[in-house]
């Protein structure tokens, strides 16, 4: 659990972060989003004291972070960054084992933990343990970066645009993996990004920052439906907001039970998003879809009217 209470950061005369208050609950994935220079990275780096805050208080599990030694504090938190920051002169295995070794775990335990993490992130031990970072693809390197951040099993994970430098396909697959991981591990995660789609996909709580202040925070759907001002609205995609919202809602939320009519020819999974359903309708010129479960058995149907309509009955 992380609490920021009226926190301000000044660099000389410039105020980078201006009196923000934010509370991230245990197990919550909180995404800080905003344009460059809005103070989101500064906020993240104040939490592990890579930057010292000027005013206010930051608490971890109810204790002020200034009461810890910097190094002790940082070893309790995972840290992953855009450039991966992998040590180029160390092998993958040695990179991942960094924090456990700093914490003076016995060698056998470090080794076991490294193997466990590599398995968790789908990096085969034989193929990757002895490789050096420059021999990895961008996606693999970032997986190693995440594994390293998770190594000492910290409760808190700080991620500063970790997927920012990856191609869109790799980025999406890593976002999915992060969500799957988070469903298993329930870490408290603060994630910084400027990519709104990434933010909407990942966030339990979305925090929009602008010029050092928090403009709005809440669940992604809340922000989409009621943006606080024009800035949040434009950041959320303006006219694309409908599509972005549809991407967050599953088909199962809008479908009707199977009626007396014939089944529609086009099928869609009940876990698919409304956005995918809409795209399928457009592509196939179909006004109705048959909704199927994981075993491809029909469980309901979705009409265009239901899809677009009914926020009131949704």
Residues found near another protein in the complex (CB under 8 A): 48, 50, 70-75, 79, 81-89, 98-99, 102, 132-135, 145, 148, 158
Residue 34 or 100 with smaller CB distance to another protein: 100
In the bound state with another protein, the residue whose beta carbon lies nearer, of 89 and 285, is: 89
Q: What does residue 114 show for φ and ψ, rounded to 5 degrees?
A: -60, -45
CA 276, CA 289: separation in Å to the nearest integer? 11
Q: How far is the CB of 137 from another protein (least distance, A)?
A: 15
Q: Cβ 20 to another protein, closest distance in Å?
A: 21
Nearest distance from residue 67's CB to another protein, in Å?
A: 16
Query: Which DSSP letter does residue 33 get?
Result: E
| Structure-block tokens of residue 99 | 């924090």
Asked whether the beta carbons of 43 and 4 are under 8 A apart, the reply is yes
- Smallest gap from residue 21 Cβ to another protein (A): 24
Q: Is beta strand 14-24 parallel, antiparallel or unpaired with respect to 2-11? A: antiparallel
Ranges of beta strands (E only) in 168-229 are 188-193, 205-210, 213-218
Q: What region, left, alpha or beta, does residue 311 occupy, with left being phi > 0 and alpha being psi -120 to 50 degrees?
A: alpha
Among 18, 21, 11, which residue's Cα sits nearest to residue 58?
A: 21
Closest to another protein by CB, 64 vs 83, is 83
- Identify any residues that bridge with 192 across adjacent strands, giving them in sequence order: 32, 160
Shortest spacing between CB 157 and another protein, in angstroms: 12
Q: Which is nearer to another protein, 140 or 303 (CB)?
A: 140
Q: What's the min distance (Å) between Cβ of 55 and another protein?
A: 23
Residue 208 CA to residue 225 CA, distance in Å, equals: 14
| CB-nearer residue toward another protein: 49 or 275 | 49
Q: Which is nearer to another protein, 161 or 301 (CB)?
A: 161
């Amino acid at each position: 659990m992380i609490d920021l209470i009226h926190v301000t950061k000044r660099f000389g005369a410039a105020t980078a972060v201006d009196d923000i208050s934010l509370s991230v609950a245990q197990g919550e994935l909180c995404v800080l989003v905003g344009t460059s220079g809005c103070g989101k990275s500064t906020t993240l780096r104040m939490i592990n004291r890579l930057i010292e805050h000027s005013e206010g208080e930051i608490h971890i599990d109810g204790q002020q972070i200034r009461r810890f030694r910097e190094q002790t504090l940082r070893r309790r938190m995972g840290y992953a960054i855009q450039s991966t920051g992998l040590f180029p002169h160390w092998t993958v295995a040695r990179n991942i084992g960094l924090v456990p070794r700093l914490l003076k775990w016995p060698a056998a335990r470090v080794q076991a933990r490294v193997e466990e993490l590599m398995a968790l992130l789908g990096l085969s031990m034989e193929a990757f343990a002895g490789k050096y970072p420059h021999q990895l693809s961008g996606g693999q390197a970032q997986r190693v970066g995440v594994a390293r951040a998770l190594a000492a099993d910290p409760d808190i994970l700080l991620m500063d645009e970790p997927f920012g430098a990856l191609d869109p396909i790799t980025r999406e697959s890593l976002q999915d993996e992060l969500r799957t991981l988070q469903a298993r591990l329930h870490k408290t995660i603060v994630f910084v990004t400027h990519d709104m789609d990434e933010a909407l996909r990942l966030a339990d709580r979305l925090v929009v920052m602008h010029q050092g202040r928090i403009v709005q925070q809440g669940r992604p759907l809340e922000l989409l439906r009621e943006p606080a001002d024009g800035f949040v609205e434009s950041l959320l995609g303006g006219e694309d907001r409908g599509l972005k919202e549809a991407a967050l809602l599953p088909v199962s939320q809008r479908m009707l039970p199977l009626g007396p009519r014939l089944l529609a020819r086009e099928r869609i999974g009940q876990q698919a998003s409304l956005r995918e359903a809409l795209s399928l309708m457009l592509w196939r010129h179909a006004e109705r879809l048959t909704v199927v479960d994981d075993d491809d058995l029909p469980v309901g149907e979705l009409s265009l009217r239901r899809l677009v309509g009914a926020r009131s009955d949704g």
